[in-house]
Structure 1
Amino acid sequence: MTASAHTIALLVPGAMGAGIAARLSASGAGTILTNLEGRSEATIQRARSSNMQHASYTEIVERATCIYSVVPPVDAFSLAESVVNAYKAASSTRELIFVDCNAVNPDSVKRMATLFNGTSITFLDGVIIGTPPSETFNPGIYVAAAPNDAAALDSFTRMSTEFGLNIIPLKGEGAGIGDASALKMAHAGIVKGAIGLFTTMILAANAASPSTAEGLLHALNLSQPAFVDLIIRLLPPMPAKAYRFVGEMEEVGGFVGAGSPEAQTFEGLAGTFARVASGVVVAAAEDRPSGEVDLLLEFVEQARETRAKRDD
């Protein structure tokens, strides 16, 4: 295989980042650079299994032609700052592309883009929709650029598509930085907002009484069977991701209007996810099951049984 003309860096190798890195590498991109300073042994092993190689930020900005940022929303701005600081400290003028692929609201991503002013780094606004890449699924990566960076957007799209990713550039009238993030906020508000609502109401019903929760499932199966199907599909993976959903719901609140009644809805859902995430952490520390997570998974199992009877 001919060596790629591109050197790609991806920060950092979480489940999504490592999955994307593995897809890139397997499709011809070669070794993917990353930064593993302060990372857990599990993260380091995940990076190795995805053909990722540790490099300092200085080395990354000196070698990479494209940097993907795939981190929890709360870390997105500081990671961009680290890249810019390393670039400036190296007195670099080389051109490269930085793609923020995180669930931050449009105002946040526009503020992030200003960090790159005065450098030769082209900033692209991207979001990932879907689960990590697998043999049967390739998530959509929607990307937008400032109007004068259309050529960089086209170059990024060609390169990433060549290396196996599913890139959807956002073009047309009014397209610019913030559009991909707005798409992510609207999508997260609907999908993860629904997960948060399901979680809140199932836990509230259980708090009233087990019979209330049982009645809730019966009523949903009677009036909204599609909701039962969604609960079965969407709730089981949620507890492990709840800590990430906290920041996403806070960002969605900012998207719909900070301080507005609508924003308070998503702030409340952030609280639900924080409660679940806290329960997971405490239960793990005490080596015991999480009571609320067990309640949710028990509801899901009962939902499966209910659906099976419906389908008979």
Structure 2
Amino acid sequence: MSTTIALFGAGAMGSAVGRRLVESSAKVITFLEGRSAVTLERARAAGLVAAPLSAFAEADIILSIVPPAEAQKVADLIAPVLRDSGKKPPFVDLNAISPKTMEKLAAGFASTGAKVIDGSIIGGPPVPGKAGPVVCLSGDLAGEPDLLSRFGLKIRRVKGPVGAASALKMCYAGINKGITGLSAAMLLAAARSGASEALKVELAESQAEHLKRLRHSIPDMFPKAYRWVAEMEEIAEFLGSDDPAALIFKGMAGVFQTIADDRNGSHKLIATLEAMLDEGH
């Protein structure tokens, strides 16, 4: 029998995950109403089939892969569809949200009869010929990990209830993206204070490996910065008001918002960062 996977979210990550599922012989349906021409073309190129939300209830499993600020809205759209349906496919949230947000999201499905699985994605979008990213799942798992791994996804079970996979994502993203944001902030501070050339020399001499990483991670962040704002806010919530580190990630949200605004505006900050990371200067 064929397997139908409903995927909400045809962005860079969602469409790439969908492509891998399609290439592994799954039928992948997605909701595209109101989406941009770029998203429509991306979904078409990935082999995704446009479908109404009502069709999600007939799928074998539902995946949500959207920016963290959109996760609750997607759940609020899908829960009524499952509540009114005889078939109850499991709903898997794969977004970068805090355990508290995940628990609130899951509570909205309590009256639907559908199972909610907590998930997260660690790594970049799938690339043909390479394994990964890792899809982490927690909660009341049954056949879902096997189903998704059968269609080309690398699955890791995380011990614990709903919220455990989200906690893992918060910790990993806090380290990985936090280092990128902190480094970008200090590079910009060096440029403002006239210390840019001296900092470049020092990094090249004493932090060569870190500088090499930044030459990839900071430019790679520019188009993603707008999505990382809400993710940093989720990490701050995850840490809680009693943890002083929460203030760090509230600050990181501001850093990424500033980069996102610059990318949509003058590109002055991005040009500064590119110049500081340029190996030729």
User: C-alpha separation between the residues in 2 aligned to 1:179 and 1:60?
Assistant: 26
Q: 1:160 aligns with which of 145, 148, 160?
A: 148
User: C-alpha separation between the residues in 1 aligned to 2:131 and 2:154?
Assistant: 10
Q: How far did residue 137 of structure 1 move? A: 4.2
TM score, norm. by length of structure 1: 0.87
1:236/1:300 contact within 8 Å kept: no
Q: How far did residue 267 of structure 1 move? A: 0.6
User: C-alpha separation between the residues in 1 aligned to 2:17 and 2:141?
Assistant: 24
Give the 4+ runs in structure 1 shifted more than 6 A: none
Q: Are residue 150 (structure 1) and residue 141 (structure 2) matched?
A: yes
Q: Are residue 97 (structure 1) and residue 85 (structure 2) matched?
A: no
Q: How far did residue 221 of structure 1 move? A: 2.2
Please identify which structure carries the higher helix content. 1
Q: Give the structure 2 partner of residue 310 of structure 1.
A: none
Deviations 1:253-280 (A, max 9, x none): 1111136421111111110100010111
Percent identity at matched positions? 36
1:79-94 correspondence to structure 2 within 5 Å: 79-88=74-83, 91-94=84-87
User: C-alpha separation between the residues in 1 aligned to 2:131 and 2:262?
Assistant: 31
1:8/1:65 contact within 8 Å kept: yes
Structure 1: stretches of 5+ with no match in the other structure: 284-289, 307-312
1:95/1:120 contact within 8 Å kept: yes
Task: Read off the aligned partner of 1:258 and give its amino acid letter.
Answer: S
Q: Give the structure 1 partner of residue 193 of structure 2.
A: 208
2:117/2:141 contact within 8 Å kept: no
2:131/2:154 contact within 8 Å kept: no
1:93/1:120 contact within 8 Å kept: no
User: C-alpha separation between the residues in 1 aligned to 2:88 and 2:176?
Assistant: 37
Q: How far did residue 87 of structure 1 move? A: 2.4
User: C-alpha separation between the residues in 1 aligned to 2:234 and 2:40?
Assistant: 29
SS at match of 2:265: helix
TM score, norm. by length of structure 2: 0.96
Q: Give the structure 1 partner of residue 9 of structure 2.
A: 12
SS at match of 2:252: helix
Deviates more, 1:270-279 or 1:228-237: 228-237
Q: Give the structure 2 partner of residue 256 of structure 1.
A: 239
Q: 2:178 aligns with which of 193, 196, 212?
A: 193
Q: Give the structure 1 partner of residue 167 of structure 2.
A: 182
Question: Cα RMSD over matched residues?
Answer: 1.4
1:229-240 correspondence to structure 2 within 5 Å: 229-240=212-223
SS at match of 1:13: coil
Structure 2: stretches of 5+ with no match in the other structure: none
User: C-alpha separation between the residues in 2 aligned to 1:245 and 1:190?
Assistant: 13
Task: Read off the aligned partner of 2:44 and give its amino acid letter.
Answer: R
Q: How far did residue 93 of structure 1 move? A: 3.0
Number of residue pairs matched?
280
Q: Give the structure 1 partner of residue 111 of structure 2.
A: 118
Instruction: Specify the structure having the higher radius of gyration (Cα).
Output: 1
User: C-alpha separation between the residues in 2 aligned to 1:296 and 1:263?
Assistant: 26
1:94/1:120 contact within 8 Å kept: no
Q: Give the structure 2 partner of residue 225 of structure 1.
A: 208
Q: Give the structure 1 partner of residue 102 of structure 2.
A: 109
Q: Give the structure 1 partner of residue 39 of structure 2.
A: 43
Deviations 1:49-93 (A, max 9, x none): 1111111111222x21111100000000110010002223xx213
Q: Are residue 294 (structure 1) and residue 265 (structure 2) matched?
A: no
